[in-house]
Amino acid sequence: MSIHSQSALDRSFHALGDGTRREMLSMLSKAGSLSANQLHEPFPVSQPTISKHIKVLEQANLVIRKVEGRVHHFRINSEQLAEAEKWINLHRSLWNGAFDQLDEFLAKADQ
């Protein structure tokens, strides 16, 4: 399935599934806004690779680009991150309940 035909939430989780992109979001959360070169600095990869990561983040609407002359600045789109967090929180109680049931099952199995 093409990433372009997925829902916004699917694109968000796809983007968040990569450690480099998560680190880039972490950098942006600390700095507020960074240029493409600043996002590239800590990673031992080529600029085109970083550009691809940025494109995935943009397609997921997790970052917003602002162009000033030749410099491209990025900041986090907190609204889209909030949507992913909302989904996680909604399902957290289901996961916790399932883990509680597993704990009970394993405790009974040990007896």
Domains of the chain: 3-110 (1.10.10.10)
**pTM score of the predicted model:** 0.76
Question: What CA–CA distances, in Å, run from 1 to 15, 70, 84?
Answer: 15, 34, 20
69: Cα separation from own chain's centroid = 28
Inter-axis angle of helices 19-31 and 8-16, to 10 degrees? 100
Residue 33 has a pLDDT of 96
Residue 95 has a pLDDT of 72
Which range of 5-14, 39-48, 88-97 scores highest in mean pLDDT? It is 39-48
**pLDDT tens per residue across span 41-67:** 999 999 999 999 999 999 999 999 999
